[in-house]
Amino acid sequence: MADTETRLDHNDPDLKYLIVDRNVFNDPMAQAEWTSKRLVWVPHENHGFVSASVKGEKNDEVEVEVVETGKRCIVNKDDIQKMNPPKFNKVEDMAELTCLNEASVLHNLKDRYYSGFNYKIGRASCRERV
């Protein structure tokens, strides 16, 4: 990978559609802020999954606050999916995701699509199993 990056012309304007600037996501302050929010994915009727912040836990139920709306709700612990830290946003290879779950994969695909990046599965072994 280091070999490939040395051969790239970083002044090429089309490069922004092929490579994500990882420095934007590797900021320690952003990582610390993300950790303090205790973000997770929760099921949503219209959007599939939405990000929410854990506010409290009691037995098998978790109280969460949906990030976009601020609405609080109680969700079964089994319905919550872990969220990846920001350094994994728009990652090219889904196998690199720390939390490889349905919500995280769909979010990553959506982010890559709306940013104009390639959003297909990258490995032949993954395509063969699908």
Alpha-carbon distances of 79 from 17, 40, 51, 86, 100, rounded to whole Å = 34, 10, 13, 22, 15
Amino acid occupying residue 110: K
More confident residue, 49 or 16: 49
Tell me the residue ranges of DSSP E strands in 1-130: 39-44, 48-58, 61-66, 72-76, 81-82
Question: Per-residue pLDDT for 52 more than 70?
Answer: yes
Tell me the sheet residues that pair with 74.
Answer: 63
Instruction: Note the pLDDT of residue 69.
Output: 94
Mean pLDDT, range 77-94, rounded to an integer? 88
* High-pLDDT (> 90) share of the chain, %: 39
